[in-house]
Amino acid sequence: MVPFSVVAPPIPDPPTSADAARRSLSSLGLGATHGRTYRVVAWLDQHQGAFAISRLIMMTGLKLRSFTDASPDDPAVLVKLETALRSMLSPTDWVALVTAVETGP
């Protein structure tokens, strides 16, 4: 009989900063009052694809494709997005998303 061995996949590195995973969408760009929802949708579309956008629309009940870069930020929308995205994304992807939204276009 051949002994059974399992090769475990490598464990991903934690986020680069302990603070990065705790940042929220509504606290980013405190001077900016528009475009964060649009940037979230654009990042998600680029990195996760259209299916992820559809899933997020179903989870939040928001018409995410209607937001533009000039759309004003609504704190209630950002809270809904953050709640859904934290359940959809890995911690590494969350840090990448928050960093992208924070740095802007």
What Rg, from alpha-carbon coordinates, does the chain have?
17
Res 49: pLDDT = 92
Residue count of the chain: 105
Res 32: pLDDT = 61
> pLDDT band for position 95 (50/70/90)?
confident
Note the pLDDT tens digit of each residue in 26-80: 665 545 678 888 999 999 999 999 999 999 999 999 999 999 888 888 888 888 9
Q: What is the pTM of this model?
A: 0.72
Task: Give whole-number Cα distances, 16 to 22, 23, 83, 90, 103, in Å.
Answer: 12, 13, 22, 14, 16
Q: Where are the domains of the chain?
A: 29-103
Res 59: pLDDT = 92
- Decide which of 36 and 2 is more confident: 36
Res 13: pLDDT = 54
- What is the spatial distance between Cα 30 and Cα 90, in angstroms, rounded to a whole number? 25
